[in-house]
Amino acid sequence: MKIQVITLFPEMFKPVLETSMLFKAKDKKLVEYLYINLRDFGLGNRKTVDDTPYGGGDGMLLKPEPLFAAVEYAKEQDSKAKVILMTPRGKTLTQAMSKKLSKEKDLIIICGRYEGYDERIASIVDEQVSIGEYVLTGGELPAMILIDSVVRLIPGVLGGENSAEIESFSDGKTKEFPQYTRPEKFKGMKVPEVLLSGNHGEIAKWRKNQQKN
């Protein structure tokens, strides 16, 4: 999967996407991250990307021309990619959405910034996505969250786990059961007896029961 990110702050992504599983996914060539700096599509000598809102109001909005030009550039690399706009006004990201997106061939993700963007960008976007009921300063952190949740579902990314195991949590509602590792006793807290029993039937029953709480 090729993921192109349109942002004014490409440097925010590298520490996150170049670490741990997200880096391993790239290293295994299961995913490719490309950053498109919106500033490069800014207008005039000053590479302007924002302007004041019609009708008045606080703050600046991302202008349509640089946004359209950046998306057109990304589409030239990848005409079939799905275009996603990160915005607090979008549909809230769910595990089901991530699963669907993980089956896409490629993605183009636009990060909103400042106080907003010119609404006309919506006309060339396939989906508007939010990550929850709160407002952040920009779409960069939400984009990284979306990328993390999508990339881990690409077959081969989570090497050690089998897909059935991933599947069982993939509705996003079924909680993971609590787990323990050595030592058996730590600061007076003991690992539940059933997990030490070797009785696989009882262990499975206990885990299922724990997921209901």
Residues 140 to 199: which contact ligand 6GU by CB under 6 A?
A: 142
Of 120, 130, 132, 123, the C-alpha closest to 89 is 130
**Residue 7 binding ligand 6GU, by CB under 6 A:** no
Taking contact as CB under 6 A, which single stretch among the options 6-14, 117-125, 130-138, 171-179 is the one that binds ligand 6GU?
130-138
Dihedral sign computed on CA atoms, order 132, 138, 139, 145: negative
Taking contact as CB under 6 A, which single stretch among the options 12-20, 101-109, 129-137, 170-178 is the one that binds ligand 6GU?
129-137
- Nearest CB to ligand 6GU, comparing residues 136 and 166: 136
Please say whether the beta carbons of 35 and 5 come within 8 A: yes
Main-chain phi, psi angles of 175, to 5 degrees: -80, 155
Interface residue with ligand 6GU among 74, 84, 88, 125 (CB under 6 A) is 88
- Nearest CB to ligand 6GU, comparing residues 172 and 203: 172
The token duo for 188 is 């007076």
**Residue 130 binding ligand 6GU, by CB under 6 A:** yes
The token duo for 86 is 């990160």
- Nearest CB to ligand 6GU, comparing residues 135 and 164: 135
Q: How far is the CB of 93 from ligand 6GU (least distance, A)?
A: 8
Could you give the CA distance from residue 82 to residue 200 in angstroms, rounded to a whole number? 44
Q: Give the pairing of strands 50-51 and 61-62.
A: antiparallel
- Nearest CB to ligand 6GU, comparing residues 12 and 190: 12
Q: How far is the CB of 146 from ligand 6GU (least distance, A)?
A: 8
| Identity of residue 51 | D
Radius of gyration of the CA atoms of the chain, in A:
21
Q: How far is the CB of 88 from ligand 6GU (least distance, A)?
A: 4
Please say whether the beta carbons of 135 and 31 come within 8 A: no
- Nearest CB to ligand 6GU, comparing residues 87 and 98: 87
| Extended strands (E) in 58-206 | 61-62, 82-92, 106-111, 127-130, 185-186, 189-190
Contact set with ligand 6GU (CB under 6 A): 86-88, 112, 130-132, 134-136, 138-139, 142
